[in-house]
Structure 1
Amino acid sequence: MPTVVDCPTCGKKVEWSEKNKYRPFCSERCKQIDLGAWAEEKYTIPGAAPADPLDEEKQ
């Protein structure tokens, strides 16, 4: 039995297989919507702020 997942964009059930070239998305449209959300910084990955190189020069 093939693995079925929910499309991250619309929630539609999608078969996870090589036949689906858009996996884990159901379509090119959902894939592009997700890419646009990343480009608009709607998603973030938590992490520490980078060190400021100017602070190191002051020491």
Structure 2
Amino acid sequence: MPSDATPCPICGRPAPRRPANRSHPFCSDRCRLIDLGKWLGEAYRVPGPRAGDGAESPGRPVEQEDEP
């Protein structure tokens, strides 16, 4: 692999750096679109609690009414 290239995270082929390769860090537009499809299909996930799983959010505090 040339020293100015990194392995493509999708297929492993050499991926030259920019400006020679507009798809960097991928080797081609095809691999870039495969990666985008994985994100959109939720194959990749960011760790943490899921929204709506009962975890408290840092929103506004609940207002309590004073009793007379």
Q: TM-score, normalised by structure 1?
A: 0.73
Q: TM-score, normalised by structure 2?
A: 0.65
Larger RCO, structure (CA 8 Å, separation 6 or more) = 1
- How many residue pairs are counted as aligned between the two chains? 57
Structure with a larger share of its residues in helix: 1
Structure with a larger share of its residues in strand: 1
RMSD value, Cα: 2.6
Deviating above 6 A after TM superposition, structure 1's stretches of 4 or more consecutive aligned residues are none
Structure 2 runs not aligned, ≥5 long: 52-56
Q: Rg bigger for which structure?
A: 2
Structure 1 runs not aligned, ≥5 long: none
